[in-house]
Amino acid sequence: MRHNFKLPSTKAMQRIIYTATLLVIFIISHSYSFQPSSSLPSKSTTATKLNMKTIDSHLHIWANAKESNDYPYAPEQTPPPTIIDVASTDALLQQMSEAGVDGALIVQPINHKYDHRYVKNAIKSHPDKFKGMMLFDPSLNEDLAVDRLEELVLDGFVGVRFNPYLFDGKMSENPSAVRVFERCAALKVPIGIMCFKGIELHYDDIIALCKSSPETSVILDHFGFAAVDNQEQFEMVLALAKFNVAVKISALFRLSDAFPYDKVKTERFEPLLDTFGASRLMFGTDFPYVTQEEVGYKGAVETVASWLSGKDEAQRRAIMGGTAERYFGTWGGK
């Protein structure tokens, strides 16, 4: 008996091979990152002497004025004069070295919008130091959006940022966003969400996304932007713990508290630790903006590390680097 069957088309075969390649890359990059990092301490450590691998899970870089000739800013997105020259790759590396930070997740800045070349070049030049989080473009159709995701994954981007203020409507009602959100589950690529104007504006939208693809990891920037003077916002952040959601312990200066951020520690960090656990919290600075604050970059590292001085070793290692490696893969090799 003869069996008639059709081989997949050339385009279909290319897609199968491409997907297999992506999965192999992510299996390798995540194979040592399912537990908080137990890596040996770096040669340079912060003044807290905690001696652990430290990963900054949230910062930005952009071209300085001179570099902008090759990497132009997006229309109407030129950085303010006070910080235009403090956010270059070299400037960040210097700050990281002084603070004893081993690696960083670079979140694509709005200043370059959907042109990822500057961040891509930083990752290529310093693969042991940097990984990237791309910025999702809501204007792309579904196929182009997925293609962009997969292309940037191959270039060292391990996360996707959803900026709700770039959408015409809700994130969960944008077909391309939903398609990318679902694709990220297969690729083990987390989605970062910025609730800059208040989580209450996006709470239902985030829940809808989480329900559409429960396997996709969601990470809230900067404590979910729940200021210390707005408990209603914070209750919404805590309520999201029932979903596949993590929170960045970053941008301490954005929560309506003054340095040394005692209220952020007791009224935001401690409850988050109790509710989410250390395995879903990750330290970040929000460089370069933190350099304009009293705390500074190194001070931000030391402040969060000091909050952990009385915690057990597993919690300290998780929040200062292990959780970031569990979600985004290992920095600096095995």
pLDDT of residue 10: 57
Residue keyed to tokens 């589950």: 185
**Residue 231: how many other CB atoms lie within 10 Å:** 11
**Residue 97: how many other CB atoms lie within 10 Å:** 13
pLDDT of residue 26: 53
pLDDT of residue 11: 54
Torsion sign over Cα 293, 298, 301, 304: negative
Residues 100 and 98: their CA atoms lie apart, in Å, by: 6
* Residues in Cβ contact with 244 at an 8 Å cutoff, skipping those fewer than 6 apart: 210, 214, 215, 216, 217, 218
| E strands, 165-301, in order | 191-193, 218-220, 245-249, 281-283
pLDDT of residue 51: 73
pTM: 0.87
Backbone φ and ψ of 192, nearest 5° = -100, 135
With beta carbons less than 8 A apart as the criterion, state whether 137 and 114 touch.
yes
pLDDT of residue 19: 61
Residues 41 and 21: their CA atoms lie apart, in Å, by: 32
pLDDT of residue 33: 38
- pLDDT per residue as tens, the chain (334 positions): 555 555 566 555 656 666 666 655 555 555 433 333 333 233 333 334 447 999 999 999 999 999 999 999 999 999 999 999 999 999 999 999 999 999 999 999 999 999 999 999 999 999 999 999 999 999 999 999 999 999 999 999 999 999 999 999 999 999 999 999 999 999 999 999 999 999 999 999 999 999 999 999 999 999 999 999 999 999 999 999 999 999 999 999 999 999 999 999 999 999 999 999 999 999 999 999 999 999 999 999 999 999 999 999 999 999 999 999 999 999 986 4
pLDDT of residue 42: 35
